[in-house]
Amino acid sequence: MAQKKLKMGMVGGGEGAFIGNVHRMAANLDGQIELVCGAFSSDPVKSKRSGEALFLEPSRCYGSFLEMFEKEQALPASDRMDFVSIVTPNHLHFAVAKAAFEHGFHVICDKPATFSLQEAKQLKDLIEKSQKLYGLTHTYTGYPLVKQAKHIITTGQIGDVVKVVVQYSQGWLAAREDTSGKQAAWRLDPAQAGISCCMGDIGVHAANLMEYISGQRIIELCADLNSTVMGRQLDDDGTVLVRLSNGANGVLTSSQISIGDENGLAISIYGSEASLSWRQEEPNTLWMKFNHQGAKMIRTGVGEFCDEALAAIRTPAGHPEGYLEAFANLYTRFAMQIRAYPSQLQDRETIPGIEDAIRGMAFIENAVSASISDIKWHKFII
Amino acid sequence: MAQKKLKMGMVGGGEGAFIGNVHRMAANLDGQIELVCGAFSSDPVKSKRSGEALFLEPSRCYGSFLEMFEKEQALPASDRMDFVSIVTPNHLHFAVAKAAFEHGFHVICDKPATFSLQEAKQLKDLIEKSQKLYGLTHTYTGYPLVKQAKHIITTGQIGDVVKVVVQYSQGWLAAREDTSGKQAAWRLDPAQAGISCCMGDIGVHAANLMEYISGQRIIELCADLNSTVMGRQLDDDGTVLVRLSNGANGVLTSSQISIGDENGLAISIYGSEASLSWRQEEPNTLWMKFNHQGAKMIRTGVGEFCDEALAAIRTPAGHPEGYLEAFANLYTRFAMQIRAYPSQLQDRETIPGIEDAIRGMAFIENAVSASISDIKWHKFII
Amino acid sequence: MAQKKLKMGMVGGGEGAFIGNVHRMAANLDGQIELVCGAFSSDPVKSKRSGEALFLEPSRCYGSFLEMFEKEQALPASDRMDFVSIVTPNHLHFAVAKAAFEHGFHVICDKPATFSLQEAKQLKDLIEKSQKLYGLTHTYTGYPLVKQAKHIITTGQIGDVVKVVVQYSQGWLAAREDTSGKQAAWRLDPAQAGISCCMGDIGVHAANLMEYISGQRIIELCADLNSTVMGRQLDDDGTVLVRLSNGANGVLTSSQISIGDENGLAISIYGSEASLSWRQEEPNTLWMKFNHQGAKMIRTGVGEFCDEALAAIRTPAGHPEGYLEAFANLYTRFAMQIRAYPSQLQDRETIPGIEDAIRGMAFIENAVSASISDIKWHKFII
Amino acid sequence: MAQKKLKMGMVGGGEGAFIGNVHRMAANLDGQIELVCGAFSSDPVKSKRSGEALFLEPSRCYGSFLEMFEKEQALPASDRMDFVSIVTPNHLHFAVAKAAFEHGFHVICDKPATFSLQEAKQLKDLIEKSQKLYGLTHTYTGYPLVKQAKHIITTGQIGDVVKVVVQYSQGWLAAREDTSGKQAAWRLDPAQAGISCCMGDIGVHAANLMEYISGQRIIELCADLNSTVMGRQLDDDGTVLVRLSNGANGVLTSSQISIGDENGLAISIYGSEASLSWRQEEPNTLWMKFNHQGAKMIRTGVGEFCDEALAAIRTPAGHPEGYLEAFANLYTRFAMQIRAYPSQLQDRETIPGIEDAIRGMAFIENAVSASISDIKWHKFII
The H or E element containing residue C11 is strand C6-11
Which residues, in sequence order, are CB contacts of B350 under 8 Å at separation 6+? B308, B333, B336, B337
Nearest to A382 by CA among A353, A357, A348: A357
Residue A334 lies in a domain: no
* Single-letter residue type at C308: E
Q: How many Å apart are CA D205 and CA D41, to the nearest integer?
A: 26
- Quick: pLDDT tens for C244-256: 999 999 999 999 9
**Any bridge partners for residue A264, and if so which?**
A169
Our count of domains for chain A comes to 2
CB contact under 8 A, A29 and B24: no
Nearest to D274 among B249, B260, B290 (CB): B260
Judge whether D295 is closer than 8 Å to chain A, CB to CB.
yes
Q: How many CB atoms lie within 10 A of CB A140?
A: 23
Q: How many Å apart are CA B27 and CA A276, to the nearest integer?
A: 36
- Residues C197 and C240 occupy one common structural domain: yes
Q: How many Å apart are CA C33 and CA C148, to the nearest integer?
A: 26
- Residues A130 and A150 occupy one common structural domain: no
Mean pLDDT of chain C: 94
- Quick: pLDDT tens for B133-168: 999 999 999 999 999 999 999 999 999 999 999 999
Judge whether B307 is closer than 8 Å to chain C, CB to CB.
no
Q: What pLDDT is recorded for position C81?
A: 97
* Single-letter residue type at D220: E
Judge whether B296 is closer than 8 Å to chain C, CB to CB.
yes
Judge whether B317 is closer than 8 Å to chain A, CB to CB.
yes
Residue B249 lies in a domain: yes
**Any bridge partners for residue C251, and if so which?**
C165, C241
- Mind giving me the DSSP string for A325-360? HHHHHHHHHHHHHHHHTTTS---TTTS--HHHHHHH
**Any bridge partners for residue A175, and if so which?**
none
CB contact under 8 A, B294 and C292: no
Contact B37, B84 (CB under 8 A): no
Q: What pLDDT is recorded for position B346?
A: 61
Q: What pLDDT is recorded for position C350?
A: 76
Q: Name the phi and psi angles at A206, rounded to 5.
A: -65, -45
Judge whether B230 is closer than 8 Å to chain D, CB to CB.
no
Q: What pLDDT is recorded for position B345?
A: 67
Q: How many Å apart are CA D184 and CA C288, to the nearest integer?
A: 31
Contact C214, C251 (CB under 8 A): no
Containing domain of residue A289, as a range? 144-315+359-371
Judge whether C317 is closer than 8 Å to chain B, CB to CB.
no
Sheet strands (E) in C43-103: 83-86
C304/chain B closest Cα distance in angstroms: 7
Nearest to D337 by CA among D326, D348, D323: D348
Residue B24 lies in a domain: yes
Q: How many Å apart are CA B225 and CA C239, to the nearest integer?
A: 57
What CA–CA distances, in Å, run from B19 to A375, B14, B24, B26, D125? Answer: 59, 10, 9, 10, 63
Q: Name the phi and psi angles at B66, rounded to 5.
A: -65, -45
Q: What pLDDT is recorded for position C181?
A: 63
B22/chain A closest Cα distance in angstroms: 8
Which residues, in sequence order, are CB contacts of C59 under 8 Å at separation 6+? none
- Residues A195 and A119 occupy one common structural domain: no
Contacts of B298 in chain C (CB under 8 A): 294
Most B CBs within 10 Å: which of D162, D170, D236, D287, as the mutation test of the B interface? D162
Contacts of B275 in chain D (CB under 8 A): 171, 258-261
CB contact under 8 A, D293 and A303: yes
Kindly state the average pLDDT of the residues B202-226.
98
CB contact under 8 A, D294 and A294: no
Closest CA in chain A for residue D295: A297
* Single-letter residue type at D209: L
Q: What pLDDT is recorded for position A90?
A: 87
Neighbours, chain C (3 or more CB pairs < 8 A)? A, B, D
Judge whether D292 is closer than 8 Å to chain C, CB to CB.
no
pLDDT category of residue C79 using cuts at 50, 70 and 90: very high
CB contact under 8 A, C302 and B288: no
Q: Name the phi and psi angles at A276, rounded to 5.
A: -125, 140
Q: How many Å apart are CA A52 and CA A151, to the nearest integer?
A: 43
Closest CA in chain B for residue A299: B262
Contact C260, C176 (CB under 8 A): no
Judge whether C58 is closer than 8 Å to chain D, CB to CB.
yes
Neighbours, chain A (3 or more CB pairs < 8 A)? B, C, D
- Residues B192 and B294 occupy one common structural domain: yes
pLDDT category of residue B1 using cuts at 50, 70 and 90: very low
How many Å is the Cα radius of gyration of chain D? 21
Q: How many Å apart are CA A11 and CA A258, to the nearest integer?
A: 32
Judge whether B258 is closer than 8 Å to chain D, CB to CB.
yes
Closest CA in chain C for residue D4: C55
Contacts of A273 in chain C (CB under 8 A): 259
A and C: number of Cβ contacts within 8 A: 132
**pLDDT per residue as tens, chain A (382 positions):** 468 999 999 999 998 778 999 999 999 999 999 999 999 998 999 999 999 999 999 999 999 999 999 999 999 999 999 999 999 988 999 999 999 999 999 999 999 899 999 999 999 999 999 999 999 999 999 999 999 999 999 999 999 999 999 999 999 999 876 555 666 777 888 888 889 999 999 999 999 999 999 999 999 999 999 999 988 999 999 999 999 999 999 999 999 999 999 999 999 999 999 999 999 999 999 999 999 999 999 999 999 999 999 999 999 999 999 999 999 999 999 999 999 998 776 666 678 999 999 999 999 999 999 999 999 999 999 9
How many Å is the Cα radius of gyration of chain B? 21
- For residue D197, the domain's CATH number is 3.30.360.10
Judge whether B340 is closer than 8 Å to chain C, CB to CB.
no
Contacts of B288 in chain C (CB under 8 A): 294
- Residues B228 and B308 occupy one common structural domain: yes
Q: Is the pLDDT of residue B120 over 90?
A: yes
CB contact under 8 A, D270 and B291: no
Contacts of A322 in chain B (CB under 8 A): 319-322, 325
Judge whether C181 is closer than 8 Å to chain D, CB to CB.
no
Closest CA in chain A for residue B140: A319
Contact A254, A168 (CB under 8 A): yes
Q: In what order do the strands lie in the sheet with B6-11?
A: B33-39, B6-11, B83-86, B106-109, B134-136
- Residues A150 and A52 occupy one common structural domain: no
Q: What pLDDT is recorded for position D238?
A: 98
Closest CA in chain D for residue B249: D226
Neighbours, chain B (3 or more CB pairs < 8 A)? A, C, D
- Residues D190 and D86 occupy one common structural domain: no
- Residues C88 and C193 occupy one common structural domain: no
- Residues D209 and D309 occupy one common structural domain: yes
Which residues of chain D are under the pLDDT cut of 70? Answer: 1-2, 177-183, 345-349
- Bridge-based pairing of strands B378-379 and B218-226 is antiparallel
Contact D310, D203 (CB under 8 A): no
How many Å is the Cα radius of gyration of chain C? 21
Nearest to C63 by CA among C83, C47, C84, C81: C47
- Residues D251 and D133 occupy one common structural domain: no
Nearest to C294 among B290, B293, B296 (CB): B296
Kindly state the average pLDDT of the residues B37-43.
94
- Residues C22 and C133 occupy one common structural domain: yes
C248/chain D closest Cα distance in angstroms: 30
Q: Is the pLDDT of residue C347 over 70?
A: no
DSSP A302: S
Most C CBs within 10 Å: which of A161, A162, A179, as the mutation test of the C interface? A162
B and C: number of Cβ contacts within 8 A: 42
Judge whether A54 is closer than 8 Å to chain C, CB to CB.
no
Taking each helix axis from N to C terminus, what angle separates D144-154 and D204-214, rounded to the nearest 10 degrees? 40
Contacts of B293 in chain C (CB under 8 A): 302-304
Residue C327 lies in a domain: no
Q: How many CA atoms lie within 13 A of C22 on its CB side?
A: 24
- For residue D120, the domain's CATH number is 3.40.50.720
Q: Omega before D76 cis (within 30°)?
A: no
Sheet strands (E) in chain B: 6-11, 33-39, 83-86, 106-109, 134-136, 161-169, 218-226, 237-244, 249-255, 264-271, 275-279, 285-289, 295-299, 378-379
Q: What pLDDT is recorded for position B16?
A: 77
Residue A17 lies in a domain: yes
CB contact under 8 A, A263 and B322: no
Which residues, in sequence order, are CB contacts of B364 under 8 Å at separation 6+? B112, B117, B194, B195, B196, B199, B200, B203, B204
Q: How many Å apart are CA D28 and CA C5, to the nearest integer?
A: 13
CB contact under 8 A, B4 and A55: yes
Q: Name the phi and psi angles at A131, rounded to 5.
A: 55, 30
Closest CA in chain A for residue D298: A294
Judge whether B142 is closer than 8 Å to chain A, CB to CB.
no
DSSP C293: S
Residue C338 lies in a domain: no
Judge whether C271 is closer than 8 Å to chain A, CB to CB.
yes
Residue B287 lies in a domain: yes
Judge whether A160 is closer than 8 Å to chain C, CB to CB.
no
Q: How many Å apart are CA B379 and CA D240, to the nearest integer?
A: 20
Hey, which residues 99-138 in chain A have their CB within 8 Å of chain B? none
Alpha carbon D271 to chain centroid, angstroms: 26
Contact A69, A99 (CB under 8 A): yes
Distance, first Cα to last Cα, chain A? 46
Sheet strands (E) in A151-301: 161-169, 218-226, 237-244, 249-255, 264-271, 275-279, 285-289, 295-299
Q: How many Å apart are CA B123 and CA B113, to the nearest integer?
A: 9
Contact A331, A136 (CB under 8 A): no
Judge whether B98 is closer than 8 Å to chain D, CB to CB.
no
A and D: number of Cβ contacts within 8 A: 42
Q: How many Å apart are CA B80 and CA C281, to the nearest integer?
A: 61
- Residues A149 and A208 occupy one common structural domain: yes
Nearest to B336 by CA among B10, B98, B83: B83
* Single-letter residue type at C104: G
pTM of the model: 0.96
Q: Is the pLDDT of residue C144 over 70?
A: yes
pLDDT category of residue B177 using cuts at 50, 70 and 90: low
Q: What pLDDT is recorded for position A1?
A: 47
Which residues, in sequence order, are CB contacts of C184 under 8 Å at separation 6+? C172, C173, C178
Residue D43 lies in a domain: yes
